[in-house]
Amino acid sequence: MACHDPPSSLPLTGEPIATRWTPDIKAEVKRSRVATTRQLAAAINACPAEQRPKVLVNASAVGYYGSSESTTFSESSAPGRDYLAEVCREWEAAAEEAQTRVVILRTGIVLAKEGGALGRMIPVFSIFAGGPLGSGRQWCSWIHRDDVVGMILEGIRNPAWQGVYNATAPNPVRMGELCSALGSVMGRPSLVPVPDFALRTLLGEGASVVLEGQRVVPTRAQDAGFKFKYTQVTDALRNVLRA
In the predicted structure, residue 199 carries a pLDDT above the cut 90: no
Please tell me the predicted confidence (pLDDT) of residue 120. Answer: 84
Residue 11 near residue 37, CB atoms below 8 Å: yes
The torsion of the CA quartet 59, 64, 207, 126, rounded to 10 degrees, works out to -50
Gap between the Cα atoms of 35 and 87, Å rounded: 11
Evaluate whether residue 181 is within a structural domain: yes
79 confidence band (pLDDT: 50, 70, 90):
very high
Please tell me the predicted confidence (pLDDT) of residue 189. Answer: 92
DSSP sequence for 33-57: IIIHHHHHHHHHHHS-GGGS-SEEE
Please tell me the predicted confidence (pLDDT) of residue 2. Answer: 56
Q: HSE-up of 78 (CA within 13 Å, CB side)?
A: 5
Residue 233 near residue 169, CB atoms below 8 Å: yes
**pLDDT per residue as tens digits for the range 39-78:** 999 999 999 999 999 999 999 999 999 999 999 999 999 9
Instruction: Summarize the confidence of residues 191-220 as an average pLDDT.
Output: 84
Instruction: Summarize the confidence of residues 202-212 as an average pLDDT.
Output: 77
Give kind and range of the element (H or E) at residue 125: helix 116-126
Instruction: Summarize the confidence of residues 4-8 as an average pLDDT.
Output: 59
User: Average pLDDT, whole number, for the chain?
Assistant: 91
Please tell me the predicted confidence (pLDDT) of residue 200. Answer: 78
Evaluate whether residue 110 is within a structural domain: yes
Evaluate whether residue 216 is within a structural domain: yes
Domain of residue 133, residue span: 54-84+101-242
Instruction: Summarize the confidence of residues 114-143 as an average pLDDT.
Output: 91
In the predicted structure, residue 33 carries a pLDDT above the cut 60: yes
Evaluate whether residue 121 is within a structural domain: yes
Q: Which residues of 193-226 are buried (b: 16+ CB within 10 A; e: fewer)?
A: bbeeeebeeebeebbbbbbbbbbbbbbbbeeeeb
Evaluate whether residue 42 is within a structural domain: no
Evaluate whether residue 125 is within a structural domain: yes
Instruction: Summarize the confidence of residues 7-28 as an average pLDDT.
Output: 77
Read off the CATH number of the domain in which 206 is found.
3.40.50.720
In the predicted structure, residue 157 carries a pLDDT above the cut 90: yes
Question: What size, in residues, is the chain?
Answer: 243
Longest dimension (CA), the chain: 59
In the predicted structure, residue 9 carries a pLDDT above the cut 80: no
Closest CA to 21 of 30, 12, 13: 30
Evaluate whether residue 153 is within a structural domain: yes
Evaluate whether residue 17 is within a structural domain: no
**pLDDT per residue as tens digits for the range 81-109:** 999 999 999 999 999 999 999 999 999 99
Residue 169 near residue 109, CB atoms below 8 Å: no
Please give the tally of structural domains in the chain.
1
Gap between the Cα atoms of 155 and 35, Å rounded: 23
Report which of residues 7 and 35 the model is more confident about.
35
